[in-house]
Amino acid sequence: MEMITMPFHEQYLTHIGRLIDNPIFFAFFLIVLADIITGFLKSLIVKTTTSSKGISGLIKHSTLLLIMAILYPYLDIYGLSGMADTLLIFYILFYAISIVENFGEMGIPIPEWLRKYIYKLSDEYKKGDVKDEKLQK
């Protein structure tokens, strides 16, 4: 009995179609979107909104989403979806930290036990900002 295998491009398209049903990929998409929104809100509140910074941020986020949307099906086809999920979880954690940083910089209270682990909200980072301001004067 001969086994009929599906051409690779058809497998790839099938796996791309399954991404929307993947809860980890969907969580990754949502957290990237949340980071974009909180970053924009932070820039409005802190009054540091610039179009060049916003556009470069959107390009970076979009590029990462595109890379993961292209890479995940390949890894899944070769039986490495666990590796792809691990990579997505890694990025989800980094984006979660960025969102907490954005909240902190907007003035939203962050618990002290969490604050000490986040660099942008730490005293060392703020002291660094003071040094940078002195150098610019």
Q: pTM score, two decimals?
A: 0.78
CA distances from 99 to 24, 80, 92, 120 (A): 18, 29, 10, 11
- Is 17 a domain residue? yes
Torsion sign (Cα): 77, 83, 89, 95: negative
- Is 74 a domain residue? yes
- Is 104 a domain residue? yes
Q: What is the mean pLDDT of the chain?
A: 84
Residues in the chain: 137
Count structural domains, the chain: 1
pLDDT digits (tens, 9 = 90+) for 65-111: 999 999 999 999 999 999 999 999 999 999 998 999 899 888 888 88
Q: Which domain holds residue 62?
A: 8-110
- Is 63 a domain residue? yes
- Is 137 a domain residue? no
- Is 132 a domain residue? no
Classify residue 101 as exposed, middle or buried by CB count within 10 Å of its CB (0-12, 13-18, 19+).
Answer: buried
